[in-house]
Amino acid sequence: MTPGWITEDVAVAAAALRAGGLVAFPTETVYGLGALADDEEAVARIFTAKGRPRAHPVIVHVAAADGLDRYAEQVPDYARRLVERAWPGPLTVVVPRHPGVATAAAGGAATVGVRCPAHPVAHALLTAVGSGVAAPSANRFGRVSPTTAAHVVAELGTRLDPHRDRVLDGGACPVGVESTIVDCCGERPIIVRSGRVTQRDVEEWAGVPTAATGPASAAPGTLAAHYAPSAQVSICDEGEPLLDLVKRESLRGPVGLIAPADVADVPGAERLAAPRDEDEYAQVLYASLRAADDAGMASVVVVPPPPHGVGVAVRDRLTRAEHGSRSATNG
């Protein structure tokens, strides 16, 4: 590995972006793989590095709320109220795009996803470059999002250019699951992806009720099979006792267990995490799934958190991970 490829120096990372390089950087949710939003060539390299289909749009990250108007137009009043309360924070709004900006990041769409992250390192980087940064999560397409710099290297280390690109190390991400995405193109907000900002937050802050159904979309975060480790994920729901599920999964090989702290250990399963509440569950979820793969586990049995707060998003990701690890096209 080239010395200096991984850096804690925001100025070094900002210089790499300005020179057309890619920079993986921490946000409060997960690590993103960034390029200057209007550098079409650099944005194209993001898609190549991730192995992501070109038509899937990428979120543009801005340093402050006024960055929204650089990329968006005809932003509904409720969306303005929403970002005023939620930013900086783990919320992305999809709004009508200003023509001529962030074309490659938008994947040709007439809309753009914009987010102002609440992470000091992300904020410093965005301020230093003085421009929006297009960034999907810094994982290979379909895989679990990275929540540490080491995870980024494990995902993309061989796919980045050590001379041009950088990994900006800002420690572990405090939220741990991706931002809530709210489509703000219509009369009412539509929650497209759940996250730490809940439906109740969105409705309270926007001052209008959300519409129930999202637009039919093939965006990666909305595919049934996504966020998957190599190990088979099996959710323990009301149907089958935990002990029986572990026994059954043991037939495949070593089994890991992710369950809230009040769930006792189970013979035959190695405990990967025992989070005390849904926030901690979100924080440790992706690292635990990675740990299962690193340990060569065949299966991870999970007892989901209750559907409160970010627990809704954790349950959503677990369901997708279960689908993803079952599907032959995983990856």
Q: Which residues bind ligand TXA (CB under 6 A)?
A: 27, 29-30, 32, 56-59, 92, 94, 106, 109, 111-113, 115, 135-137, 178-179, 181, 219-222
147 binds, among ligand TXA, Mg ion, none (CB under 5 to 8 A by kind): none
SS3 286: helix
Go through 3-19 and write b for each residue having 16 or more CB atoms within 10 A of its CB, e for each that does not.
eebbbeebeebbebbee
Which tokens go with 153? 């290297």
By beta-carbon proximity to ligand TXA, the closer residue of 219 and 269 is 219
* Min dist. Cβ of residue 134 to ligand TXA (A): 9
Residue 138 vs 233, nearer CB to ligand TXA:
138
Which residues contribute to the site for Mg ion (CB under 5 A)?
Answer: 137
Toward Mg ion, which CB reaches closer, 32 or 132? 32
Whether the CB-CB separation of 120 and 171 falls below 8 Å is answered with: no
| Shortest spacing between CB 136 and Mg ion, in angstroms | 5
How far apart are alpha carbons 205 and 184 in whole angstroms? 13
Kind of pairing between the strands at 180-183 and 190-193: antiparallel
Q: Are 205 and 78 in contact (CB under 8 A)?
A: no
Q: Which does 133 bind (CB under 5 to 8 A by kind): Mg ion, ligand TXA, none?
A: none
Our CB check for Mg ion shows the closer of 59 and 300 to be: 59
The least CB distance from residue 47 to Mg ion, in Å, is 12
Which of ligand TXA, Mg ion, none interacts with 111 (beta carbon under 5 to 8 A by kind)?
ligand TXA
**Least distance from C-beta 30 to Mg ion, angstroms?**
8
Cα 308 from Cα 315, distance rounded (Å): 10
Q: Which does 319 bind (CB under 5 to 8 A by kind): ligand TXA, Mg ion, none?
A: none
Instruction: Determine phi and psi for 83, rounding to 5 degrees.
Output: -70, -30
State the residue for tokens 């190390």.
Answer: 169
Q: In the complex, what is the shortest distance from the CB of residue 31 to ligand TXA, in angstroms, rounded to a whole number?
A: 7
Position 213: which residue type?
T
